[in-house]
Amino acid sequence: QKEVEQNSGPLSVPEGAIASLNCTYSDRGSQSFFWYRQYSGKSPELIMSIYSNGDKEDGRFTAQLNKASQYVSLLIRDSQPSDSATYLCAVSNSNYQLIWGAGTKLIIKP
């Protein structure tokens, strides 16, 4: 079992709908959680960071963290075709190592 797991997708969502991306992690001591967006051939771009339980909103993006259940999710409201990318979940574990999920490919259909 990987330390950080994501559904590889692709996840197909109609334009204007809500895209929901999920990530689970195994190290209960993890404290920092990140969502990165990566377009093909480009570097990962930080979308959201979250450190405490609950929701954190930034524009159309909401990150949700549940440490008891060991999952972190990213919601994208009013999805746009430009949101089509691979979304990488990264978790800083109890050894302060940044562990990456394999990424979920999101496709927004016009």
Partner 1 sequence: AAGVIQSPRHLIKEKRETATLKCYPIPRHDTVYWYQQGPGQDPQFLISFYEKMQSDKGSIPDRFSAQQFSDYHSELNMSSLELGDSALYFCASSQGGHAVGNTIYFGEGSWLTVV
Q: Which residues bind partner 1 (CB under 8 A)?
A: 31-32, 34, 36, 41-46, 49, 51, 88, 92, 96-98, 100-103
Residue 30 or 62: the one with the smaller Cβ distance to partner 1 is 30
CB of 38 to partner 1, least distance (A): 9
CB of 91 to partner 1, least distance (A): 10
C-alpha 18/C-alpha 52 separation (Å) is 23
Residue 17 or 98: the one with the smaller Cβ distance to partner 1 is 98
Calculate the CA dihedral of residues 16, 43, 45, 67 and round it to 10 degrees.
Answer: 100
Residue 41 or 110: the one with the smaller Cβ distance to partner 1 is 41
C-alpha 64/C-alpha 21 separation (Å) is 10
- For residue 81, say if its preceding peptide bond is cis, omega within 30 degrees of 0: no
CB of 40 to partner 1, least distance (A): 9
Residues present in the chain in total: 110
